[in-house]
């Protein structure tokens, strides 16, 4: 096979980052991948494997050297090259809120393919990935292996000439710090020093009374949007009407009775130092305990499933 048939041709391919600190991720490499060939990059972490893949995928521009893919320059024919490539990234980037079928559909749409054509290809791709019976399932319900297979199936929707596979190594983890928020609340609360300990206790108890049942719900919830909905439909109304902004006495009688079930109202009363502290305390503690038990059950079930 001659040079013209090379799918990928790199000469002195370089990638440098300005930093700070500036560093060279790929330092002048040469390689050639021909049609029908399975070509692999091996190397330790940080060797520049992913960077090279990203340059081939026309996602990251090269800093120097030559890079030709499917006979065209990677810098100038980006869109045309990307249309002929199938890419399986290091981490699964599936749309977890969509179904298996929808994931393939929208991905095909990114290539500008007509819906009818995508649907036609979907059957074959699902069969190939052994996901036909999971077609209407949401990605969240899939096992890790199934997700991986779907990612690969999805990458073939444009019937590519070149498939790029990047290994899975990392997982992103979001960190939250509830403690900081609590500190801000206490700092900005217009509370006299003498009242501070009781207000702090009220705030901590309120936080606990909410945190326990909410975390139980969070483990069982299937979509992030459900949590947003709980916030808007449950937490916000509680926030608005639990005597936060105006006395509950201003509410109609039946609503005043409903407010009695609002943990936030009990917390607010505790923090303000109004009402009967013993009752509010008992209600909040009971809620916390019930929430804790529910959370423990939810976690156990989730982890052993």
Partner 1 sequence: MTAAVLIERNLMIYKHTWYVLLAEIFEPILYLLSIGVGIGVLVGTVTDVPGGDPVRYAAYVAPALLATAAMNGAMNETTYLMFGKLKADRTYESMLATPLTERDVALGEIGWAVLRGTLVSLAFLAVITALGLVRSPWALLVVPGAALIAFAFATAGVVVVTLLRDWPDLQYVQLVMLPMFLFATTFYPLSVYPRPVQLVVQALPLYQAIELLRNPALGILTPKIAVAALYLATMGAVCLTIAVRRLARTLSL
Per CB under 8 A, does 229 bind partner 1? yes
Q: Which listed residue (97, 137, 204, 277) binds partner 1 by CB under 8 A?
A: 97
Q: Which listed residue (31, 41, 111, 217) binds partner 1 by CB under 8 A?
A: 111
If the CB atoms of residues 55 and 126 are measured against partner 1, the closer one turns out to be 55
Q: Are 101 and 58 in contact (CB under 8 A)?
A: no
Dist CA 17 CA 55 (whole Å): 13
Tell me the closest approach of the beta carbon of residue 252 to partner 1, in angstroms: 11
Radius of gyration of the chain from Cα atoms? 28
Number of residues that bind partner 1 (CB under 8 A): 52
Tell me the closest approach of the beta carbon of residue 190 to partner 1, in angstroms: 15
Window 14-53: contact mask with partner 1 (x via CB under 8 A): ---x------------------------------------
Window 134-173: contact mask with partner 1 (x via CB under 8 A): ----x----------------x--x-------------x-
Q: Which listed residue (4, 175, 178, 305) binds partner 1 by CB under 8 A?
A: 175
Dist CA 157 CA 118 (whole Å): 7
The alpha carbon of residue 114 and the mean position of all alpha carbons in its chain are separated, in whole angstroms, by: 28
If the CB atoms of residues 77 and 219 are measured against partner 1, the closer one turns out to be 77
Considering only residues 234 through 263, tell me which ones interact with partner 1, judged by CB under 8 A.
236-237, 240-241, 244-246, 250-251
Per CB under 8 A, does 133 bind partner 1? no
Q: Which residues make up the interface to partner 1 (CB under 8 A)?
A: 17, 57, 59-61, 78-80, 82-83, 85, 87, 89, 91, 93-98, 102, 105-107, 109-112, 138, 155, 158, 172, 174-177, 223, 225, 228-229, 231-233, 236-237, 240-241, 244-246, 250-251
């Amino acid at each position: 096979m001659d040079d013209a048939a090379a799918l990928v041709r790199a000469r002195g391919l370089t990638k440098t980052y300005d930093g700070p600190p500036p560093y060279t991720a790929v330092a002048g490499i040469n390689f050639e991948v021909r049609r029908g060939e399975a070509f692999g990059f091996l190397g330790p972490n940080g060797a520049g494997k992913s960077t090279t893949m990203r340059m081939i995928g026309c996602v990251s521009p090269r800093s120097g050297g030559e890079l030709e893919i499917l006979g065209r320059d990677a810098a100038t024919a980006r869109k045309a090259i990307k249309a002929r490539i199938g890419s399986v990234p290091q981490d699964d980037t599936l749309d977890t809120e969509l179904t298996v079928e929808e994931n393939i559909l929208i991905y095909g749409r990114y290539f500008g393919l007509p819906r009818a054509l995508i649907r036609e290809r979907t059957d074959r791709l699902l069969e190939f990935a052994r996901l036909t019976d999971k077609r209407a399932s949401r990605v969240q319900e899939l096992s890790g292996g199934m997700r991986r297979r779907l990612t690969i199936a999805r990458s073939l929707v444009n019937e590519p000439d070149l498939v790029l596979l990047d290994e899975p190594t990392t997982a992103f983890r979001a960190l939250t710090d509830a403690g900081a928020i609590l500190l801000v609340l206490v700092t900005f609360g217009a509370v006299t020093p003498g009242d501070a300990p009781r207000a702090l206790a009220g705030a901590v108890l309120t936080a606990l009374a909410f945190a326990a049942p909410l975390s139980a719900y969070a483990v069982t919830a299937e979509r992030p949007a459900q949590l947003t909905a709980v916030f808007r439909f449950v937490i916000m109304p509680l926030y608005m009407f639990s005597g936060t902004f105006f006395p509950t006495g201003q509410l109609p009688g039946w609503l005043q009775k409903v407010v009695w079930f609002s943990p936030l109202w009990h917390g607010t009363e505790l923090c303000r130092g109004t009402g009967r502290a013993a009752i509010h305390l008992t209600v909040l503690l009971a809620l916390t305990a019930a929430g804790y038990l529910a959370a423990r059950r939810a976690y156990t079930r989730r982890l052993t499933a």
